Structure 1
Amino acid sequence: MLPRRRIFRPAHNAPRAWRGPLVALGLAGVAAGLIGLGGPAQPLGDSPREQDWAAGPAELRVVDGDTLRLSDRIVRLRGLAAPARGETCQEAGGREFDCGAGSAEALARLVAGQGVLCRIRGRDRFGRGLGQCSTAGREAEGVELNGALVSAGWALADDDDFTPQERAARREGRGLWARGARPPAAWQARR
């Protein structure tokens, strides 16, 4: 009979002694990595409260009466509310029109062929940057878009800074406040 050969030798007790702490160290490293993913982008300080976003004319798109797309970023104009596309208003003769599209067209006329510079201060509930924006093009340099849209009567003031412009637009019958026109039903309560 041949002697039995052992293919597997049990390890000595010495290597097992370091196995527990090594596993604990590995798990601690994985946990620290996962915690780091949810932490701040700048661990030694807060992220900036204000940022400047800019886009040239080719990168700029009007999404809605109060929303712009600057390349891959979306900005909602801060301090105002414009009607959504598809929201209807009535002209003096009773004919309905899409006042949301009218508001978007007014914003498009303000930025036509120009770049935009926005100072971002926070985010809205959808994660869009809230910005105070102005044109930065060859024509009409520096038109402040937020106030201009309210002044033209195509948006409501959601901020006390724009209340005088809204009052003037209502009084003079501009934009959605055109004489005899009825603004969207949601705006009726604000009169």
Structure 2
Amino acid sequence: MLLRRFAAAVLAALAVTGVQAVTAAPAAAAPRVLYYDASQAQEFKSVVAQGAQIWNSRVTNVRLEPVPAGRTPNIRVYADNGWPRAQTTSLGNGRWYMGRQAVNQGYYQPRIAAHEFGHLLGLPDRRTGLCADLMSGSSAPVSCTNPNPNAREASTVNSNFATAASVPAQAFAWSS
């Protein structure tokens, strides 16, 4: 108690004389880690990892990592013959499908993977038709090879994971 009063008196005296005391900035919070399981993604396992790495290089408040042994994943990734789609159970939790129909039509696989991870990170489809918008999905031309979220998309994900934001369960489907 005496030490606190002494420290307060010293700071007050410094303030009166115009000297500024320097305090340490608060430490940045560690990113929230989401574990994904790509064991059922078949031939797309490396593309799933690439999609996770794209997000890891663009955002700071969340990190996508392969699920370690003995741990339950937040995200499960599957491959099937339909369109890519995601089903969220809550922010950062759910499943997504790497659908071969979009791959067979020529859509860029890393873009599909990053787009579907985007849904699990709280982003909806935005059918802008712009290649610069990752969440424009299949509304962008098949020739689009941009797998990166734009600044607004990355900022939204960072905001989603800066707090205990809640996103209701949703289903998203890649459509032609």
TM-score (norm 2): 0.29
Which of these two proteins has the greater Rg computed from alpha carbons?
1
TM-score, normalised via structure 1 length: 0.27
